[in-house]
A and B are shown apart, each in its own frame.
Chain A
């Protein structure tokens, strides 16, 4: 089984992000970048499938400028077999990403595509679902467990109020939730091997996709700063404030 994994280059989750002074975007100057944590979980799941003998090849794909090769190399160091970069300078939105991934799916014909449920920059949570629709593949989103069962895939999903298990026909699309697995760190020997692994670069045109934009980013601003709390003297004052100031009880 061939597995395709999508990895996105995003601001490292440890970084405190700041808006640019003109409010046009998030300031990415001198900011540490990393694989989106949900994508890292996707890579881990694919590598585990390979280690279990279920997957035969794991391909990591990323879309972006040359810098995203860093994240592809990291995926290779984590155990992916080869990489694909779809080179684009523009800030692509979920629908375009899904179309480009559909192009890669058509080329590679994977049995399984694993993506993060969302990326921690845009928090869109759209790409996997759009890819499923475009490629006409069943989807198991927010996966907390993935079990291959012959030509079927049982995916346990984290839904509001509990867990739901769906059975999908392969080929299928899976998006990962936080509890699917705990990603490993790349070992030193695997880091050294990553450099020698194949990394192909395609343009959107190679995949027959035109990069267009339907969305305009109007402004980016930081969340309002939290006001400091106060201490109340007694219960009466608390009830009074909840009633008349916060207006959360009546």
Chain B
């Protein structure tokens, strides 16, 4: 990436790249084939990440985090986008939503996530509520000082079994000028709580070593002290997280595209057919030119969103545009890379087919491309009353 970085950012990236090369890259093929990361390996990566100060680098220093600004976090996520998420996920970036913890919640949930003693999961998506989150059917009904939760969440992806979940559930319905609207509340629910079960979800073609879980709640009773933030304000919390989450997907897409472009370029320069490197044929070299150009555009959009966020000026459409363009870009780059490698691109002996599968999910999670387009279009039309 040809992007100006500060002295600290340069050293951080050098150190991080060295770390990933040593601790992550050697395990990618094997963990992808196995469909999971052995617990000891995950623990080892986590311990090393804590030693290096890479763990919880996104959270403020006041709670024990690394205190990185959004721009540096963007560079961090970009590097992590190059590697398998099942492994890279052990360099945890606990969700910023946890900063809403108050009172006992700080020591019970926020701090253990910073020190690596606990792992959270973010439980919003449901089988019947993906892009249309307001159709969620998980409910929490008040009963004295408690709430009783019933419902199911799926596609809850984390690198290991979560110790607790941040569960979004409807606690009522409000009448608004645009019709009835569910009141959504976020709850902190511990693993082992009666009526709360966690099981492995279906096997995914992308990011195979990254686990997805299904969480089900059957009359799961939690005290009102377990509400994260305020009752009925759950979506505001999730929006805050989803906004930056989209920028991180954009950054990861750029990182992955850079890794693919390097592989493709190297192959184009060395693979010979008809007596010449295949890069000397414009059918190949023009692909490389397009890939590099689109990657640079996506990088600039992503870094723009990060800088806007650092200045408190990031609009939802900034994140949506970066996510939309970068995730679609990495799909094209991955496809071109397979084509440049030819048959070898699809063989499990090379990392290309894995990166190609992995790239596909970027257009889906954290808001599909269609949802991003909806957000962008809404930002244009809503001010005109349309």
Interface centre among A73, A74, A191 (most CB of B within 10 A): A191
> Is A130 at the interface (CB under 8 A from chain B)?
no
A73 neighbours in B (Cβ, 8 Å): 7, 11
- How many residues of B are counted as interface, with CB atoms below 8 angstroms from the partner's CB atoms? 17
Describe B's contact surface by its main secondary structure: helix
Is B40 engaged at the interface, CB distance under 8 Å to the other chain?
no
**B16 nearest in chain A by CB position:** A185
Proximity bits, B1-42, A CB within 8 Å = 1, else 0? 000000110111011101100000000000000000000000
The minimal Cβ–Cβ distance linking B225 to chain A, given in whole angstroms, is 34
The answer to whether B15 touches A187, judged by C-beta atoms less than 8 angstroms apart, is: yes
Q: List chain B residues, Cβ under 8 A from A190.
A: 53
Assess whether A70 is interfacial by the CB under 8 Å rule.
yes
- Residue B122, interface by CB 8 Å: no
- Contact at B52–A77, with CB atoms within 8 Å? no
Residues of B within 8 A of A187 (CB): 15, 51-54
A54–B295 Cα gap in the complex (Å)? 49
Contact flag A188-B14 (CB < 8 Å), given A195-B7, A195-B8: no
> Is B7 touching A188 in the complex (CB atoms < 8 A)?
no
- Determine how close the nearest CB of chain A comes to the CB of B63; give it in whole angstroms: 15
Question: Contact string, A160-188, partner B, CB cutoff 8 A, digits 1/0?
Answer: 00000000000000000000000001111
Pick from B15, B18, B51: contact of A191, CB below 8 A: B15
Residue A194 is within 8 A (CB to CB) of chain B in the complex: yes
A34 within 8 Å of B by Cβ? yes
- The residue of chain B having its C-beta at the shortest distance from the C-beta of A191 within the complex is B11
Which of B7, B12, B18 is close to A70, meaning CB atoms less than 8 Å apart? B7
B11 touching A74, Cβ below 8 Å: yes
Interface contact A188-B57, CB-CB below 8 Å? yes
Task: Knowing A185-B19, A192-B8 are in contact, say whether A74-B51 is a contact too (CB < 8 A).
Answer: no
- A34 touching B53, Cβ below 8 Å: no
- CA of A145 to CA of B13, assembled, Å: 30
- Given known A191-B8, A195-B7, contact A34–B54 (CB-CB < 8 A): no
- A223, B16: Cα distance in complex, Å: 33
> Which A-chain residue is minimally distant from B6 (CB atoms)?
A195
Docked-complex contact B15 and A189, CB < 8 angstroms: no
Say whether B66 faces chain A, with CB atoms less than 8 Å apart. Answer: yes
In the assembly, what is the distance between CA of A194 and CA of B8, in Å?
A: 8
Q: Chain A: which residue is nearest B68 at the CB level? A: A188
Interface pair B11/A77, CB less than 8 Å apart: yes
Interface 0/1 of A70-112, CB less than 8 Å to B: 1001100100000000000000000000000000000000000
Residue of A nearest to B8 (CB): A191
Residue of B nearest to A77 (CB): B11
- Chain B nearest CB, measured from A229 CB (Å): 15
Report yes or no: A188 in contact with B10, Cβ–Cβ below 8 A: no
Return B19 CB to nearest CB of chain A, in Å.
5
- A188, B66: Cβ atoms under 8 Å? yes
Task: Closest A residue to B20 by CB, please name it.
Answer: A185
Closest-by-CB residue of B relative to A186 is: B15
- CB A172 to nearest CB in B, in angstroms, measures 30
A34 to B16, CA, bound (A): 14
A34 touches B14 (CB 8 A): yes
B7 in contact with A185 (CB, 8 Å): no
Residues in B with CB closer than 8 Å to A194 are 8, 11
Q: Within the complex, what minimum Cβ distance (angstroms) separates B25 from chain A? A: 13
> Which A residues, 7 to 50, have Cβ-Cβ distances below 8 Å to chain B?
34
Question: Nearest residue in A to B55 (C-beta to C-beta)?
Answer: A188
The distance in angstroms between the C-alpha atoms of A188 and B14, with both chains bound, is 11
Pick from A74, A189, A195: contact of B53, CB under 8 Å: A189
Q: How far is the CB of A115 from chain B (nearest CB, A)?
A: 21
Cα distance A74–B19 in the bound complex, in angstroms:
15
Inside 8 A of B11's CB, which chain A residues have their CB?
A: 73-74, 77, 186, 191, 194
Question: Chain A contacts of B51 at CB under 8 A?
Answer: 187
List, in ascending order, chain A residues with CB within 8 A of B54's CB: 187-188
Closest Cβ of chain B to A192, distance in Å, is: 6
When C-beta atoms are compared, the residue in chain B nearest to A190 turns out to be B53
Cα A77 to Cα B13 with chains together (Å)? 13
B279 to chain A, nearest CB (A): 15
Give the distance in Å from the alpha carbon of A195 to the alpha carbon of B68 in the complex.
15
Cα A190 to Cα B12 with chains together (Å):
10
**For the complex, what is the distance from the CA of A190 to the CA of B14, rounded to whole Å?**
13
A74, closest chain B residue (CB): B11
* Residues in B34-71 with C-beta less than 8 Å from chain A: 51-54, 57, 66, 68
Residues of B with C-beta under 8 A to A70: 7, 10
17 pairs from A and B in contact (CB 8 Å cutoff)? A34-B14, A70-B10, A185-B15, A185-B19, A185-B52, A187-B15, A187-B52, A188-B53, A188-B57, A188-B66, A191-B8, A191-B11, A191-B15, A194-B8, A194-B11, A195-B7, A195-B8
Task: Give residues in A with beta carbon < 8 Å to B.
Answer: 34, 70, 73-74, 77, 185-192, 194-195
